[in-house]
Amino acid sequence: MATVALLFSSCSDDKSENITEDQSKVDMSDFYVYTDADVDENARQVQGKQVCHTMVNLNRLLNEDPSLEKKMYDIEYQTRALTNAKKGGNGNGGGPGGGGSGGGDPVDNLGVVNIPVYVHVVYSNSQQNVSDQQINSQISVLNNDFRATNNDTNQVPSEFAGLVADTEVNFTLAGTFRHSNSTSAWSTNDAVKSAYPPVTPSTHLNIWVCNISGGILGYAQFPGGPAATDGVVVLYSSLPGGSAAPYNQGRTLTHEVGHYLNLRHIWGDGRCKQDDFVADTPSSDGPNYGCPSYPTVNCRSNDMTMNYMDYVDDSCMYMFSEGQKSRMRAILQPGGSRAALAGN
């Protein structure tokens, strides 16, 4: 697997209209796309652990479309350049990986961004046909999590308390589509999306709620992937009130929407040697499960186990960081890969 950091020397012209030459001098030497997720996540499945399949899905899409490497490189280049422009830095996050978003609150002109959501409920029985009440509760969880208004942020240790971010992103349910289908469980090959394609995916977040085989809680598509499969798939029983305890309070979707908005897992899917491109999330050597005690030390630093981009129980994850906020909002700015979601 080639590293795209050595392949491409500049981002595409159509992605840099708001970036000056000085602002665009960013370090991309740590950037990567392929990971060891295929091996790592399969091993966790064998151990009976429920997992996110996003990084495995990314590897598959990269294999199917070699041009996706370049698209993701360009998106990352612009993300770092925009973050650099707001902070006055050189694009280096200061974390072990070198590059990435800094820890401060970016100054942009977007205000609060409202993302309209289409939900596709695909069911083979009444249990999988989640109720409107569950869907509305799930949207509320997203809003509370992304706006830092949930009741758990006061549990964040003092080390990280100043990093808890209101991302200023809201979600509004634009419509629900219900589809009865004899398929009892869907694989992670996007077949459910092919059966029920996304609706205006450039301007709406599409979410498929269904049964997923193999102990998978959900998977998302990163910015830059094909429009025909853009969106997030989540296990029906992970919605609030579902049966997938301890993953039944709606945080699976919070996690997957984080991926959809360009966040990596906090351990970078590469142990201590790889970063998540966010400076204020400490490096880790792998996911945490359950409700870890504080401090949990990995890679010579305390893990931010309560971050939504870890694998802990729903009740024990309750923050995005300021650096993650910077990263997500960069792709929503004019010229960004998901700018249309913000009406830009």
Contact 221/68 with Cβ under 8 angstroms? no
Closest alpha carbon to 167 in 25, 309, 337:
309
Annotated catalytic residue, options 69, 76, 168, 256:
256
Residue 314: C-alpha distances to residues 164, 246, 322 (Å): 17, 6, 21
256 given a catalytic annotation = yes
Positions annotated as catalytic residues are 256
